[in-house]
Amino acid sequence: MEKRPQAEYIDDGRTVADMSADWMPWNRGLRRRRREAKRERSKEEIAEAKKTFRAAVKGQYLAMLPFLGCVVAAFALMYFLLRLWLT
């Protein structure tokens, strides 16, 4: 098999990909806009948002409660059966 001759690589300085990262959030001012929007919210809005968040978390825990009960019951059953078998 004959090897094909490799072309010599010459760097001519052209940019293939833009590396300025203008698309990143810190280069578009998004953090500043969020900070300003946060300052504009009133204390009542903040209190309402906290109340809503706490209600959502409480609902999440209540939804997981039956699953937790099943897991605890399964471990209790395994413990009971092991005690019967090993004694």
The predicted-structure confidence for 24-81, as pLDDT tens digits, reads as follows 666 666 666 677 777 777 878 888 999 999 999 999 999 999 999 999 999 999 999 9
For 5-18, b/e burial (b = at least 16 CB within 10 A) is eeeeeeeeeeeeee
DSSP 47-66: HHHHHHHHHHHHHHHHHHHH
What is the pTM for the complete model shown? 0.46
The predicted-structure confidence for 30-39, as pLDDT tens digits, reads as follows 666 677 777 7
Cβ(76)–Cβ(69) under 8 Å?
no
